[in-house]
Amino acid sequence: MKRLKALCSGVAAATLAAAGLAAAATLGTGQASGAETSAAALGNNWYAAAPYLMPRDNNPPDAGAIMDATGLKAFQLAFILAPNGGGCSPTWDGTAAVSSDTAVAAVISGIRAKGGDVSVSIGGYGGTKLGQACSTSEATAAAYQQVISKYQLKAIDFDLEEPEYENTTAIAHEIGAAKILQSNNPGLYVSVTTAGTADGTGWFGKQMLNEAKAQGFTPNNFSIMPFDGGFNSAAAQTSALTNFNTILQTTFGWNAATAYAHEGFSGMNGRSDTGEYFRQADFQTVLDYATSHAMGRFTFWSLNRDRQCTPPDNGTTSGVCSSVPQTPWEFAKFSVKFAGATPPTNPPTTPPTTPPTNPPGQCTVAAWSGSAVYVNGNEVSHKGHKWKAKWWTQNEEPGTTGEWGVWLDEGAC
């Protein structure tokens, strides 16, 4: 996924300062910023829908204003890289050490103060990745753990693409680190994003999946980016998603429904780096495909671009506007729809892979299964209680999501 940094890097310092001050202002006098502001209790549906936002570059928009205008609750902050000067420690964009960061922490605190939360994305297109700079998976995981601990993260995204994904050792470090983090941070939402092709994903993407299989690592989803590769329509994108589903089935031995539940889409709003156009109607088509197949993720690059250029389309691609006619944050509304989407009446489900965990009793509804997909209104039994889903969910155990989580306790049964 190309990041278009060169177009707007000159405004990075000023816009970061403005974004940090705007976010901090929402906290109120005396309220702590950064790690001291706890993450909201969001369901995985929100982390699965979080669009990308660069908080330090490309004229960062005010996250709070986007939340107010659209109802969006989650943001995918990008990107964590190795230091430009070398070393195995996390930085923002290769230049700002996470350990001493206060500006991005203020942005995160502002989002959380309004009831939202963030995931942090590592890698991206270009730059030196920690998987390249660190000598082992364990060292790579330790660097990422600093990010998780600093910002009290409940979600993280591994964006594995050029040039890192051509380096088999680096990819082994990244996948190994992801597995360690998943184990050491129970409940951590982990997405893996990689390049998309008409075939689904290319040779390096398939090798990454094989590495994950070899290490016994399964994230919440594997997402592809079907743009910058000759995609001329939403139909080309959904075709790639269908092909990628087949690759997931073949690689991991999953059935189609399980593969879709672990599959994600990461698009690019408006004009892509290579001159493709993905307008609002294209996003709606892909969203319909994602919800009808109960896919695990729907996101896009980026909120920095989710506003109209002047003129609306000047034939170039920008890092700060979409190059298509639109109202501000129009593409963010597709993410909001996905977070609360209700797939068809009879969505594909996955048969349980483990015995039901609730004891026999008087419950008349089916037992909850961590591998099944549930949507708004679905009822399950678990540990002697009946629960109703408020929105799309998978592998969120009833009784663990809290008052504002996905499961509504309907009482003992």
CB contact set of 100 (below 8 Å; sequence gap of 6+): none
Question: Helices 103-113 and 12-25, interaxial angle, to 10°?
Answer: 40
Match 């109703």 to its residue by tokens: 388
Q: Are residues 241 and 369 in the same domain?
A: no
Shared domain check, 131 and 66: yes
Total residue count of the chain as it appears in this document = 413
Q: Please report how many Cα atoms fall inside a 13 Å half-sphere around the Cα of residue 25, on the Cβ side.
A: 10
- For residue 161, indicate whether it is catalytic: yes
> Within this chain, do residues 250 and 370 fall inside the same structural domain, yes or no?
no
Among 51, 80, 61, 79, smallest CA distance to 15 is for 61
Q: What is the pLDDT of residue 277?
A: 97
109 and 223 inside one domain? yes
Question: Does 344 reside within a domain?
Answer: no
Do 312 and 371 lie in a common domain?
Answer: no
One domain, residues 249 and 323: yes
Task: Specify whether 161 is located in the same domain as 193.
Answer: yes
Same domain, 18 and 146: yes
| Residues 143, 176 within the same domain | yes
Same domain, 88 and 231: yes
Q: How many domains does the chain have?
A: 2
The Cα 347–Cα 393 span in angstroms is 12
| Three-class DSSP category at 242 | helix
* Active-site residue, selected from the candidate residues 36, 138, 161, 164: 161
| Residue range of the domain that includes 411 | 349-413
Q: What's the mean pLDDT in 197-220?
A: 97
**Mean pLDDT value of segment 202-220:** 97
* The last residue of a domain, from among 314, 339, 364: 339
Q: Taking 60 as the threshold, does the pLDDT of residue 31 lie above it?
A: no
Shared domain for 368 and 334, answered yes or no, is no
Q: What contacts 163, CB < 8 A, 6 or more positions away?
A: 126
pLDDT in tens, 275-300: 999 999 999 999 999 999 999 999 99
CATH number where 391 lies: 2.10.10.20
- Quick one: 213 and 269 in the same domain? yes
